Every structure is written in C-alpha cells, then in structure tokens.
A and B are shown apart, each in its own frame.
Chain A
Amino acid sequence: MKKLVTPFRVGLLVLTAGAFFFAFFMFARKGGLSEKESIDVWAYFRDASGLSPKSRVQIAGIPVGEISQITLEGTRAKVWLRIRDDVELHEDAVLTKRSESLLGDYLLDLNPGTEKTPRMQDNGQIRRVIDTQGMEAVFESLSQITADIQQVTAALRDVLGGERGAGSLQRIVENLIRLSESVDATVRSSGERLNAILVNFEGVSDDVRGLTQENQAEVTRIVDNIEYITEDVREVLATVKKVVGANEGDLKEGVASLKETVQKLDRTLGNLEQITHNVREGEGVVGTLLTDRALGQKFTDAVSDASDYVNRLTGLQTEVGLNASYLMSQGRAKNGISLRLIPKPDKYYLLEIIDDPRGLVEVQVVQNNPPGSGQPVVQTQKIIKETYKISAQFAKRYYFTTLRFGLIESTGGVGADLHMLEDVLELKLDAFNFSAEELRYPRLRATLRAQAFDHLFVIAGMDDILNAQQRDTATNRLIAGRDFFFGGGIFFTDDDLKALLPSVPTP
C-alpha cells in the first residue's frame, strides 16, 4: 500500500491540473459557430483597423456572430463574418464598426435589415458599411471644425492683413467713434423734453392704477361676501336637514334629542371646569405634576434617560458567528462560537467560547511525604485540561486599525486588526498568554481573514509564532509552538437572525 502512495499523489495532482485545464479550455473556447449553424457573409471596409478574427458581431448588444477572416483586396479590407443562421439577415443590412472604449476595442454592430428586401444568401455581401464610428468620428469632426476655423482665419487675414487691411480697419473704427458721438449729442440736447414726457406718463399711469385698484377692491369684497353667504346658507341647510330629518315626524324627536344633548354638554363642561380648577390649584397627581417645578424636572430627566436607553437598545447591533480552523501541525480542528455586541460602528464587545485542541496547561506542585525517609519529595506536574476557553474583549476602531484588549483564550491579552480593501481583508494580530510557564515567549498569533461572501469568511495564519513546538509526551499533542492553520466561518447579524428565526420550525 505504501508503494502506491507516491503514484497516487502524483496522479491526483495530474488529474486536478487536467480538470483545471479542461474547465479553462471550455471557458476560453469561443462559440465556434459551425458551418451548419451559420452563414458566411462579407463586407468591404475602407478601414478595418482594430478589427481582428473572432471580434464580436452583435445586434442590440447581443453577440450573433464573429469575424472569421480579414483579407486585403486592392485598397480595401474584405471582412468575412460568420453569422448565426437563426438571425434573419436581409440584403439591406447595415454593418457599423464601433469602438467600445478609448483603448481601441472594436466590434461590429449589425442591423439585420428589413423584410422589404430578400434574405441574404450564404456568401452574400453586406453593402452598407459604416466604418468610422466612435472616436474616429469624433476625430474626423474635429478635423473638419479645424479646417473651417482655418478658412475663417484665412479670410480675416485676407481682409485685414497688410497695409490695405489695416487702413480699412482704421476707417471702420473712426466711423464708429463718430457715430457714437452723434448719438450722445442727440440724447443730451433732447434730454429735458424727454424727462417732461416721462413725468407726464408717470402721473397718468398712477391715476389709472389708483382708479383700477379702488374699484377692484370693492368688486373683490362684493364677490367674497356673496361667496361666504352662499357657503353659510348651504351648511345651515345641510345641518337642519340632518338634525330635523326628512319628514315632519322626526322633528319632535330631533328637538328632544337636541335638548338632551345640550343638557349633557352642560354637565360635561361643569365637570371640566371643576377639573381644570383643581389642576390650577395643584391638587391631585396631574395638578402636582404640572405645578411642581422640581417634580416636572425629574419627570423630564426620567423621560430623557428612558429615551437614551431605548436609543442604545435599538442602535445595538448583535453579530453571532461560528468558526472552525484546521491546525496543521496539531492535526485537529479548533472551533469557536462568538458573539459581537456593537453599540457603535467604531467599537464592539467580543465574547467567544473556543474549543482548542491544545487545551489548558495547568501546573501543579505536589509534595509527597514518604513514611521512611522523612524528606518530602516535591514534584511539578503539568496537567492538560480539555476545557473550553473564553475570550472577552473590548475593541475600538481608529481609521483602518482596530485595537482590542481583554481576555483572549482565558488569558489576558491585546490585539490589533488592520483593515484593508474596504474591510474585505483583515490582518489580525493577537498577543496573549504572557505568563505561561511552558512558553518562552508570549503567544503571538497572526491571522489573515478574507470575507468571501456576505456571511462567509476564510482565515489562514500562524499561531504561536515566537515559540518552538512542544508536544505532550503521552499523547503527542502539541501544547505550544508554531502551527499553521486555515479555515473559515459564518456569521449573522441581528437583522439576519430576525429574518432567520421566524422560519425555524417549532416543535
């Protein structure tokens, strides 16, 4: 059997690599449209730069084929396309070369044409080709604009350039100066007459506005009054109709009921007056509460405290997690359950119960008194206990670093977390077990934690980096020293738990 181990390991590696190769091959393999399921068509392009065999051909963003071949015919590029035969391609189809980004990634947009023309046959030609799109078109437009600007500047140079042009320009400027002086003189000479006219216009317009305003107010009041009156009359009539009833028989009952209601209302108002009187005088609980300033302040404080408490309770986030890691030198798994209470985003309390295969090493000093010799014998015993370890830590975050301290695996310790890539990746460092006799240095652990999905994470790292390995002679169990580990875990926040718990079946 031992002879088979090496070939087995080699075979396993080769099979794994073969499986990867097959998967990669299937992934990278293009559609590879066969001749049976496609038709070949071609088109001439003045410029086929950026296109290459296997470039996509798409309709409305959906790939329907690919370029199969590009050849040179004279000064044009003949581009052969292989198109899926379920695409109804007509002879008025249009092919457009389009760049996908600034990097010159080109594809062909295909407009399959209309039913007015016959269907495209195999080896047919697409005659309508637009091969300057995207950035090329932009550059072409810019080129045209530049040419236009050059023409304008050239014309200006012809008109204004040289001594003749300079003389014409000077004459134009002189004419403009004379024109502006003439306009200024005219305005100055007619200024007083214009002022008088404007004052008259202003007076007339004031009179007209006063008259119209006065009349408008009266008319508005009249209209408003009529509107109010009609509304009141409508309401009164509706009320009378409701109270009295539709016929005469209901009239007496209505009046009696109204009288009784008025009497009840009168008594109620009397009671209300008595109550308000008592409150004002500070009698009763409500009166004392309203009139005693000290008591009112206490009441306000109590309400404020209660509000703060409720806010803290509602803001508290809870996270429950399970994790497991395989210790490579130990050859066993380490499991843990954790509870993270997060009152604020930048701090949390972490409680963990951990099942560590290293166990807890307890040192006991045993003194034996043999009956014969009289000399006591002192022995030191190391006892490894299979027990759960507890962590209870307080953590506070500063920017990309979280600092922790408290109880780590049932001993005092400190820790730091470095958050990277928007908290997807964390480097965690823990130092604890500072006073254990079996350890030369404190236990230092480095863990790389990567959040793979919303609720899943994977971890890998090294435990007890500073110490050499020590094993229990009886069980060969690792009790101290370096050990690589890897594993993962799952965690849920209280929102997830709220969603999960109702779906758990109850017995």
Chain B
Amino acid sequence: MATENADKAPKEPHYLLQSIENFGKGAMRVISDIGGVTWLGFQVARWSARRPYRLHNLFAQLDFVGVGSVFIVALTGVFTGMVFAHQSSRAFELFDAESMVGPTVALTLTRELAPVFSALMVTMRAGSAMCTELGTMRVTEQVDALETMAVNPIQYLLVPRVLSGLIMVPVLTMLFNTTGMAGSYFVSVIAKGISAGTFLSRTQQWVDPIDLYEGLIKGAIFGLSVTLVCCYKGYNASGGAKGVGQATTQAMVASALSIFILDFFVGVMLH
C-alpha cells in the first residue's frame, strides 16, 4: 500500500524545466505589465478629455510632484554639475583642452543627465508615494467605493497624477539644467581658474536649442512613463499591506528601468 502511495506522489520537476518555466512566467509577466501600462495610458488619455476636469485635484498633484521636488532636484543638479566639471576638467587637462569642460557638461546635462536624474528623483520621491497611496486605497476598497458612488477612479485618481508627471518632469529638467550649469561654472571658473569668457563662449558655441528640446522631450516622456508605471502598480495592488509594499518595490524598479530603456530609444530616434 505504501509503495502505491509513493508512486502516486507528484514528481519534482527537473531543475532545467523549472528554470525555463520560471523564465517563461517572468517574460509573460513583463509583457502583460507592458500591455497593462499601455492600456492604462489609453484610458488616462480618454478620461482626461472628459468632464468634469477637477482642476483642484490636478493642481494638488502638480504641487506635490513639481513644487515638492524642487529642492531635491536643484541640489542634485548642483552637485552633478560640480562633479562632472571637476572630473572632466581633470581629463581635459591632459590634452590642454580645458575650454571644452563647459560644452561637455552642458551637452551632457541638457541631453541626458537632466531628464534622467529629474525623472529618477520624481520616481523616488513622488512615484513611490503615488503607488503606495493608490495601493492602500485599492486594498482597503476605497477604489471600489468610488466606483459605487459612480465616480470613475481612473479619471478621479489617475488622470491628475499622470498629467502632473507629464507636465512637471520637463519643468524640473529645466531647473536641473540651470542648477547643474551653475555648479559647473562654480567649479570650472572659480575653483579651477578656467576663464569665464572661454567657458561661456565655448558653451554657447557647442550647445544648440535642439539639445534643450531633446532634454525636455525626454523629460516629458519619462514623466509620463514613470507616473503610468507607478499608478498601474498601485492601482492593481493586492494582498494587503505586504502586497502594497511589493507593488511599490516593483514600481520603483520598473520605473527606473523604463527611464533608462526609453532614454536609449528616444535618444536614437531624436538623432
């Protein structure tokens, strides 16, 4: 009898098959997340055009995402500019080309660093809060309550958050550009003794308004993707407090990855 039971017990699958199965599950999850975020984006776009507009909600989110991130973005910008100027001047000294420090910092900031870092700061500061707030509302059935009261939760909760990311990340990118260049000027001209005229004229020569546009376009795309990912993860959270925590962690990882992946593709497309 015991021998028969042992024969009926499920067999442990081979580890190779298990690995393939896990990989497949992971891939399916990533693809379904991408689809979910895209679908959520369409819904947000559709509901953002419908009345009522609830400007008060929108301004509250703009204030939270934008004004609340000013200090951290400005501080990050100053120190990024300073560090980059310091390191690049050390490298350019080898070629007797310190005059290129200003353009190098300016181009890197405007095209890449400002939108990427601004979006990362917004992700860490505001995206995590959005995801947690929405996740908590979902697991405590507040979202269901909104639906019961005939209030569309996507229009009421998600539209202001996604629009605030779309609008405010480019604004913060511009702030990052300015503070970064100020930090770079401080290190290059005042500390390293590079001529102010050389620094400014070379920067003016090399930087074009198109570089600025590129950074701002990237900022808008990153702002959209970050808020969509965080809202999607929070809106679909389940499993109580633990589930909310897991959703927030996943949202942070996915947002950061989306920033870097989109940065590559947008950069290639814009050039």
A residues with CB within 8 A of B: 3, 6-7, 9-10, 13-14, 16-18, 20-21, 24-25, 27-30, 54, 56, 101-103, 105, 421-422, 424-425, 450-452
Inter-chain contact B67/A102, CB cutoff 8 Å:
no
User: Would B174 and A30 count as touching, CB distance under 8 A?
Assistant: no
**Which residue of A3, A10, A56 contacts B66 across the interface (Cβ within 8 Å)?**
A10
In the assembled complex, 18 residue pairs joining A and B whose CB atoms fall closer than 8 Å, in A order, are A7-B59, A9-B63, A10-B62, A13-B67, A13-B175, A17-B172, A25-B209, A28-B207, A28-B209, A28-B211, A101-B96, A101-B100, A103-B97, A105-B100, A421-B191, A424-B191, A425-B191, A451-B190
Decide: A9 and B204 in contact? CB cutoff 8 A. Answer: no
A28 touches B204 (CB 8 A): yes
**Contact indicator per residue, chain B 198-225, by CB within 8 Å of chain A (1) or not (0):** 0000011101110110001000000000
In the complex the two chains form, what is the Cα distance from A24 to B70 in whole Å?
19
Q: Do A103 and B95 have beta carbons less than 8 Å apart?
A: yes
Complex Cα distance, B63 from A20, in Å, reads 19
Shortest CB distance A446–B (Å): 15
Residue of A nearest to B170 (CB): A17
A425 to B187 alpha-carbon distance, docked (Å): 10
Cα A103 to Cα B98 in complex, Å, equals 11
A30 to B205, CA, bound (A): 7
B178 in the interface, Cβ–Cβ < 8 Å?
Answer: yes
What distance in Å separates the Cβ of B260 from its nearest Cβ neighbour in chain A?
24
Chain B nearest CB: distance from A457 CB in Å? 11
Q: How far is the CB of A495 from chain B (nearest CB, A)?
A: 21
Contact present for A20 and B187 (CB under 8 Å): no
Our pick among B59, B187, B208 for the contact of A10 (Cβ within 8 Å) is: B59
Does B60 sit within 8 A of A, measured CB to CB?
yes
Q: Which residues of B contact A (CB under 8 A)?
A: 56, 59-60, 62-63, 66-67, 70, 95-97, 100, 170-172, 174-175, 177-178, 186-187, 190-191, 203-205, 207-209, 211-212, 216
Q: In chain A, what residue has the closest Cβ to B55?
A: A7
**Which has the most chain B C-beta neighbours within 10 Å: A6, A10, A18, A421?**
A10
- Complex contacts, B212 vs chain A, CB 8 Å: 21, 24-25, 28
Contact of A6 among B63, B96, B186 (CB under 8 A): B63
Q: How far is the CA of A35 from the CA of B59 in the complex (A)?
A: 46
User: Once the chains are docked, how many angstroms separate the CA of A165 from the CA of B60?
Assistant: 96
A421, B95: Cβ atoms closer than 8 Å: no
Across the two chains, which residue of chain A brings its CB closest to B97?
A101
Q: Which residues of A contact B174 (CB under 8 A)?
A: 17-18, 20-21, 24
Residues of B within 8 A of A28 (CB): 204, 207-209, 211-212
- Complex Cα–Cα for A21 and B175 (A): 9
Q: A6-B63, A24-B177, A28-B204 are in contact. Are A14 and B171 (CB under 8 A)?
A: yes
* Min CB–CB distance A266 → chain B (angstroms): 73
Task: Assess the A10–B209 pair: CB atoms within 8 A.
Answer: no
Q: In the complex, how many angstroms separate the beta carbon of A145 from the nearest chain B beta carbon? A: 24
CB distance from B98 to the nearest CB of A (A): 10
Partner of B70, one of A13, A30, A101, A102: A13
Chain A residues with CB under 8 Å of B216's CB are 21
Determine chain B's interface SS by DSSP, over half rule. helix
Min C-beta distance of B23 to chain A, whole Å? 44
A422 touches B97 (CB 8 A): no
Q: Are B63 and A422 in contact (CB under 8 A)?
A: no
Report Cα–Cα, A24/B204, bound state, in Å.
Answer: 9
Distance of A501 Cα from B96 Cα, bound (Å): 44
- Residues of B close to A6: CB separation below 8 A: 59-60, 62-63
Q: For residue A105, which residues in chain B have a CB less than 8 angstroms away from its CB? A: 97, 100
Extra contacts, 11 of them, besides A28-B209, A54-B208 (Cβ < 8 A), are A3-B56, A10-B62, A17-B172, A20-B174, A20-B177, A21-B174, A21-B216, A25-B212, A101-B100, A102-B97, A103-B97
Which chain A positions have C-beta within 8 A of B207?
A: 27-28
Nearest CB of A to B54, in Å: 13
B268–chain A nearest beta-carbon distance, Å: 19
Residues of B within 8 A of A27 (CB): 203-204, 207
**In the complex the two chains form, is B66's CB within 8 Å of A13's CB?**
yes
**How far, in angstroms, from A177 to B44 measured CA to CA in the complex?**
102
The CA of A18 and the CA of B97, in the complex, are separated in Å by 33
Residues of A within 8 A of B204 (CB): 27-28
A10, B105: Cα distance in complex, Å: 29
CB distance from B87 to the nearest CB of A (A): 14
A450 to chain B: which residues have CB within 8 Å? Answer: 186
Q: Least Cβ distance of A462 to chain B in Å?
A: 13
* Docked pose: A28 CA to B70 CA in angstroms: 24
Q: Is the CB of B63 within 8 A of A101?
A: no
A148: min CB distance to chain B, Å: 30
* Complex interface: chain A residues within 8 A of B62 (CB): 6, 10
Q: How far is the CB of A455 from chain B (nearest CB, A)?
A: 14
**B171: min CB distance to chain A, Å:** 4
Contact B208 A17 (CB under 8 A): no
Instruction: Give the 4 A-B CB pairs with smallest separation, nearest first.
Output: A421-B191, A17-B171, A17-B174, A20-B178
The chain A residue with its CB closest to the CB of B96 is: A101
> In the complex, A300→B172 CA distance in Å?
73
CB of A13 within 8 A of CB of B171, answer yes
Contact indicator A16/B175 (Cβ below 8 Å): yes
- A21: which B residues are within 8 A, CB to CB? 174, 212, 216
How far is the CB of B204 from the nearest CB of chain A, in Å? 6
The CB with the most chain A CB atoms within 10 A, among B70, B170, B174, is that of: B174
B191 touches A9 (CB 8 A): no
Asked if residues B175 and A17 are in contact (CB atoms below 8 Å), the reply is: yes
Distance A504 CA – B70 CA, assembled complex (angstroms): 43
Contact of A30 with B186 at beta-carbon distance under 8 Å, contacts A9-B63, A24-B177, A103-B95 already known: no
Whether A9 contacts B97 by the Cβ 8 Å rule is: no
| Chain A residues within an 8 Å CB radius of B95 | 101-103
Neighbouring B residues of A30 by C-beta, 8 Å: 208
Specify the chain A residue showing the minimal Cβ separation from B68. Answer: A9
Q: Which residue of B lies closest to A10 (CB)?
A: B62
Tell me which residues across on chain B come within 8 A of A25, comparing CB atoms: 209, 212
Closest to A25 in B: B209
- A92 vs B24: C-alpha distance when bound (angstroms): 72
Provide the residues of chain B in CB contact with A421, threshold 8 Å.
Answer: 187, 191
Least distance between B10 CB and chain A CB atoms (Å): 58
Closest residue to B171 on the A side, CB-wise? A17
CB pair A103–B208 under 8 Å, yes or no, is no
Closest to B207 in A: A28
- State in angstroms the CA–CA spacing of A14 and B66 once bound together: 9
Of A24, A102, A103, most B-chain CB atoms within 10 Å: A24
Q: How far is the CA of A24 from the CA of B60 in the complex (A)?
A: 29
Return chain B residues, CB-CB under 8 Å to A3: 56
